[in-house]
């Protein structure tokens, strides 16, 4: 069962990576000077022994490696710690914000697919044609327009035209502008890659053969697409991961209550458990989306899993 073995191997690698990742993030957050409890120590209203006790209860007086181990075992059991600033378990908080961010990212991802594939294929079918030139121009401009500028532009557009609701999240119409601001830079990059891959694929012998056999053009394109899809799957996996990170600024501009907003906010409150776990949750998503891309890739291309 080569597929099973391939999957197992990749899972093993991912587990090692996640472990390293958790260690790195823990190290980073642990070295941030002054946690929430340190501020409490200076709070006259809270007796010092009480803070010490809290610190003991939370295991924060333990040496670094024990703290790390207990934090990790908590994580594995699905315990994301406690938010001091909001006085409630961080699980609920982080998952809530994560689902908001995922909703935004999914919207953006669908848009990326909707832009990239039609445009990339159309451009590759007639290289040098007007569609191709239009797509290349879009790609160049899109690459130069960061989500920051697109978001601000979108906000202005919504303000001037009144076509879109602004702020908060609710309907699909709320989703449109933030998702588009995320989708344009990403698809500008992906459309270029797809165009190149498709152009290469259309030149491949088996595609040429299919064409020579007199297959209708759309079948030929589908044939080529299957080969061009491989590199695209990995790239889409990376793009999905990047959406989570890029969402921070869009969330800020459009008032989308997502994970990025939470991290920025918790950091200024020195609510480090929340920062730590949010960053890790985001990173786990990136790793898992890469894993999923690998898996899809293996499904699409048997050669990879036999390698």
Partner 1 sequence: MKRAGLILPGLVLGLLLAFSWAAPFLAPYPPERQFRDFARMQPTVPLLRGPQGWTLRPHIHDYRPPSRPGQPYPRLSRLIPVRFWVDSEPYRWMGMTWRTRFFGLDDPQRQIFLLGTDQLGRDVFSRLLHGGWVSLTIGLAGVLAAALVGIAAGSLAGYVKGAADVIVMRLADVIFALPALFLIIGLRALYPAQLSAGAGWWMLVTAFALVGWATLARVIRGQVLSLNSREFVLYARACGASHWWILTRHILPFTLNTLLVQVTVMLPAFIILEATLSFLGVGVQPPQPSWGNLLADASNLAVMSSQPQRLMPGVLLLVTVLCLTLIADRIKGISKQRRLI
Partner 2 sequence: MFKWRTGIVAALLVCLGCSGSNSPQAVSRADDLPVPDDALVVQSQGLPGGTLNYVLRRDPASFNLVGSQDTRTQLVSSLFTATLLELDRTDQTPKPALIRDWRWSDDGLTLDLELRRGLRFADGEPIDIEDLLFSISKVLDPSSSTSLRASLLFEGQEIEAAAVDDWTVRLSLARPDASLEYFLCNWALLPKHRFGDASQPLETYWTLQTPLEELTGAGPFRITEFEPGRHIVLARNPHYWKVDAQGQRLPYLDGVRIEFISEIDQQVLRLRNGELDLIDQSLSPELFGQLQQDPSVTAINAGPSGDVVLFWFNQNLQLEPPADSPFLSSAKKRWFGDRRFREAFDLAFSRSQVAQVAFGGQAKPAASLVTNESWLAPSAKVPEQNLAAAQELLGQAGFRRQGQDGPLVDAQGVPVELELLVLDQPTAIATAAMLQQDLQALGIQIRISRQDLRAVASRVMGSRIYDVALAIFSIPLQPSQMSNVLFTSSQMHLWHPLQTMPATEWEGRIDHLMSAQRVTRDLDKRREMVYEAQRVLGRQKVLLPVVERDLLIGHDPRLRNIKPAKPSPAVLWNTWEIFFAQP
Q: What Cα–Cα distance (Å) separates residue 98 from each residue in 112, 124, 155, 260, 274?
A: 20, 37, 23, 9, 12
> Which residues are within 8 A (CB) of 191 and not within 5 positions of it... i.e. 6 or more apart?
115, 116, 119, 120, 123, 135, 138, 139, 142
Q: Does 159 bind partner 1 (CB under 8 A)?
A: yes
Point out which span in 22-30, 120-128, 153-161, 208-216 binds partner 2 (CB under 8 A): 153-161
Q: Does 269 bind partner 2 (CB under 8 A)?
A: yes
Q: Indicate the length of the chain as a whole number.
A: 307
Nearest approach in angstroms of CB 268 to partner 1 is 8
Q: Which two structure tokens, joined as six digits, stand for 11?
A: 């899972």
Nearest approach in angstroms of CB 185 to partner 1 is 9
Burial class (CB in 10 A: 0-12, 13-18, 19+), 126: exposed
Q: Does 130 bind partner 2 (CB under 8 A)?
A: no
Q: Does 215 bind partner 2 (CB under 8 A)?
A: no
Binds partner 1 by CB under 8 A, chosen from 8, 15, 110, 264 = 264
Nearer to partner 1, 26 or 117 (CB): 26
Binds partner 1 by CB under 8 A, chosen from 156, 163, 168, 206 = 156
Query: Which of helix, strand or coil describes residue 131?
Result: helix
Query: Using CB under 8 A as the criterion, which residues of the chain lie in contact with partner 2 when the complex forms?
Result: 38-45, 85, 87-88, 93, 96-97, 155, 158-159, 162, 165-168, 254-255, 257, 265, 268-270
């Amino acid at each position: 069962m080569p597929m099973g073995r391939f999957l197992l191997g990749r899972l093993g690698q991912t587990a090692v990576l996640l472990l390293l990742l958790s260690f790195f993030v823990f190290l980073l957050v642990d070295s941030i000077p002054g946690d929430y409890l340190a501020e409490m120590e200076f709070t006259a209203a809270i007796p010092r022994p009480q803070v010490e006790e809290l610190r003991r209860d939370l295991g924060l007086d333990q040496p670094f490696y024990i703290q790390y181990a207990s934090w990790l075992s908590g994580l594995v059991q699905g315990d994301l710690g406690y938010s001091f600033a909001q006085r409630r378990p961080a699980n609920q908080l982080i998952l809530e914000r994560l689902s908001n961010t995922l909703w935004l990212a999914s919207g953006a991802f669908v848009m990326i697919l909707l832009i990239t594939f039609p445009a990339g294929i159309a451009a590759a079918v007639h290289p040098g044609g007007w569609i191709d030139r239009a797509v290349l121009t879009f790609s160049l401009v899109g690459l130069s327009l960061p989500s920051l500028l697109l978001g601000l532009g979108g906000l202005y557009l919504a303000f001037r035209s009144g076509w879109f609701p602004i702020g908060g999240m609710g309907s699909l119409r709320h989703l449109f502008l933030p998702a588009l601001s995320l989708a344009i830079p990403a698809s500008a990059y992906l459309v270029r890659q797809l165009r190149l891959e498709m152009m290469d694929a259309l030149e491949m012998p088996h595609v040429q053969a299919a064409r020579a056999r007199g297959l209708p053009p759309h079948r030929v394109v589908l044939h080529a697409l299957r080969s061009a899809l491989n590199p695209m799957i990995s790239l889409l996996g990376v793009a999905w991961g990047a959406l989570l990170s890029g969402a921070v600024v869009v969330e800020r501009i459009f008032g989308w209550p997502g994970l990025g907003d939470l991290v920025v906010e918790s950091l200024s409150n020195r609510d480090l458990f929340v920062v730590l776990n949010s960053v890790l949750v985001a990173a786990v998503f990136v790793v898992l989306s890469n894993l999923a891309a690998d898996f899809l890739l293996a499904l699409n291309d048997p050669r990879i899993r036999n390698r």
